[in-house]
Structure formats: C-alpha cells, structure tokens
Amino acid sequence: MRGYKEQPPIKMNVGVKIRDMGGAPPAPPPPLPPPPPPWAHKTLLFYKAAMTAGRKKIDRFGERKKMEWWISMPKVELHAHLNGSIRDSTLLELAKNLGEKGVILFSDVEHVIRKNDRSLDEVFKMFDLIHIITTDHATLTRITKEVVEDFASENVIYLELRTTPKRNDSIGMSKRSYMEAVVKGLREVGAVDVDFASRYEGNPLKSGPVDGICNGTTKEKIFVRLLLSIDRRETTADAMETVKLALEMRDLGVVGIDLSGNPTVGNWMTFLPALQFAREQGLSITLHCGEVPNPKEIQAMLEFLPERVGHACFFKEDHWENAKSLKIPIEICLTSNIRTGSISSLDVHHFADLYHEKHPLILCTDDSGVFSTSLSGEYILAASSFGLGKKEMIELGRSAIEFTFADDEVKRELREAFDSAAGKLEL
C-alpha cells in the first residue's frame, strides 16, 4: 500500500548456543505489525490537512489517537459509487496488466494513480481509466469485495453502494450479469459479515447484532444495500431496463435508483418515465442534482420529490427555499465538490448553512478512490472546517440513519449501534 513501508524480517542469531546451566531458549521474535488498511494513509493525510487548514498545531503524540477516534465512530455512507471507490493499489495492478497487453500506455497513467492530490484533469483521466478496467466480471467482483471491506474497516456499518449496470457484448456481459458479478463480490467478503439480502429471504450471511462492530464482542458486520444508477447518456428504454432489473433484484439488496453521469448531457424528461415507474413500484429515488448550473432542471427535479439529492452545488435561492420547505435530504460530498471545482472553497460551502438550519444532510465520499478520501476523512474535514465537536459529529452521523433506504428493522439496529458507541467513545 502506498505510504506503508514493509519492515525487514527479523534475523535470528543462530550461532549462539544456549548455556548448559539451565539456560532458557531465546524468546520468539515479535510478529511484524500488520499493514494498515488501504484507506488509512488517506485518512491520516486528511487529518493533517484539516488541522493545518484550521491553524491547529498537530501534536504527533496524540495524532494517531485522535485519528483512531474518528475511525472508531460508527458511520453511514449513502453516496458512494462502486467504480470510483476502487483502491489505488488495485487500479495500479490492473492498469499495469492492461499496459502489458497493449490496451493502454501504462506510463501515461501510473503517476496519476500514485498521486493523492489530483487535479480536475487528472480526476477525469482516472475515470476514463476506470471505465476501461471495469468491463469484465472478475474485476467487478474483486472491486466490490474490496470496496465493502474498506468501508467496513473504518466502521461504516451501513453502506448504500451505487453502480451503473453496463453491457459489453464483446465479452458477453449484460446488465444482469454485471450486477450478478457485483452480488458475487458481496458474497465473497470474508473479513466481515455482510447483510445485503432481504430479511424475509433468510439471508445466510446475516449474523448477530451490528454493535459488535463497536464493542468487539462479535464478528464485525456491515449492512450493504445497492442502488442501480441510470446514466444520463442512456435512452428512455435503457433507463427502463435498469429499473426493471432493479425490481428483479430486490431480494438481493437493491433498494433504489440513482440518476447520475455527466450532468451536461441528457435531458431530464428522458429519464422521467423510468423514474416514475420505479417510484410506482416502491423503489426509492436519489438524484444527482445541481452539479452544474441548470435552473430549470434543478426545479423539475425538486418538484419530482426525490427521497434524496446529491451535491446541490448550483442551487439558487428559490431552489434552496423549495428544498428546505420539502425537507429533501442532501448528500454532501465536501472533497468531491472542492476537487471538481463545483465549490470554490469550504468557506462558502452550503454545508454550514444547512447544518445551522438543521436541514437533513449526510456526509458522503462520492468517489473515495478517485478523490483520495475516506468517510473518516470527510468527518474530520467537516469537524475542523465548521467548528463541530465530537458529540455533534456523532449526532450528525446518527441522523443519517433516517435518510437511508433501509427497512425499519435495519434502522432500529443501526440506532442501537450508534447509541452503544456513543456511550463508549470518549467525547
């Protein structure tokens, strides 16, 4: 992993004999420390950057303890794109393989993958590379497994993972087989128990209480639910196909539909019939809304009354009045908004206004791999940038439970996990 230096093996002095007068054999060497999880380096960078931005002196002795507090806090992630959350190490390996096959020029992308602070042009280059890589079933399964493990390892106890089902006729990939590869990745997670299937289907992967994540008494557990994304480049028929697939896979944890993709292409009316059908069939809806200045579309989306919207970077005053009066929850992605240039700085980010007005909001990563972030990092960034304490951040995290697309029983377990953790974490 980038930022982790492998320690040399401990050498044993085999030439020294034990004394005959009852000398005890030398103690076995201590085990090597395990490598940190893939997100740890990113979270540490976020902590340092956030403290520096807030003009707070970094106490290196207490730095790790503070970072561990944010990691140990239970979290809910509601806006995470599967392919954008790929590990840098995995992307590097897969890109190198493609380079050896002559599909890409590896030297053109290697330096971009190894960077943490990528420019907007480099971010788009990453997305182009990911699009090339994620076109076979085995890769999708691997990425899904790793992404879930990464979120679980930083105490995300509920994850809504969104992805756009793709078709690749050259390798026999259909939208259905794409999603089957994703579900296979959920089944292959071994580090934690994954609850992703409908309870009434008797999911064999379910385990004990989710608060085992926080108290260490049982194997860690994460709830994972899937959102199928409609790409704005698609036709009405394509969008309808995605919705019908989502309905067919509800027993495998699909709970909703997302509209995403390049915000400068496509027309809202193209997707409206499919979204209306999804709602009629009981699927929840979240929309990427206000990523670019498009007042008429923003207004039309708000009038559709989605259960949540993501970003909301280019809302005008009347849009905010509408969203606030309707209490539509906003998925906030701080790092993503800054890196893409949608928001010029955190000083003018709408998070502060929404938080102080007690409007429903959720901190999210968007694309943790591409933007070199983690959900712990986003919480650190919000706390340091907007002057929020640990108690406020736990309350903010707990409030996200009410905006999930989960059933009431799952929400109850999540609340219990937060309440249990709040009593154990030092505030």
Catalytic hit among 291, 297, 331, 413: 291
Catalytic: 291?
A: yes
CB atoms within 10 A of CB 48: 15
CB atoms within 10 A of CB 251: 11
Q: Return the structure tokens found at 262.
A: 């390049």
Rounded CA separation 357/366 (Å):
24
Using the CB atoms, write b or e for 284-307: b if 16+ within 10 Å. Answer: bbbbbbbbeebeebbbebbebebb
**Residues marked as catalytic:** 291
